[in-house]
Amino acid sequence: MSVEVNHLTKRLVLRLNTGLDENFNPVYRARSWSNVKPEVTNENLFALGAMIGDLTEHTLYRLETVDYNELNEI
């Protein structure tokens, strides 16, 4: 069986360190932007995420992307 992958869209996710909980464990929050075109390069997404992270009051912990693909049997 062969499978064809059709790239639909991406989501950019910023993981922010918002402080510590009562047990002094780090607390993270996610902020995401949907419907990023799949042809946008990871380098451009990283640069954009880093710029947005610089504008937040919290520390940027990690940048992530989520890819949405359609799988079709051919």
CA distance 26 to 55: 20
Low-confidence ranges of the chain (pLDDT < 70): none
pLDDT at 37: 86
Helix (H) or strand (E) holding 53: helix 42-55
Strand order in the sheet with 59-73: 26-36, 3-20, 59-73
pLDDT at 71: 95
Contact, 10 vs 32, CB < 8 A? no
The structural domains of the chain, with segments of one domain joined by +, span: 3-73
CA distance 11 to 33: 6
Residues 6+ apart with CB under 8 A from 39: none
pTM of the predicted model as reported, rounded to 2 decimal places: 0.81
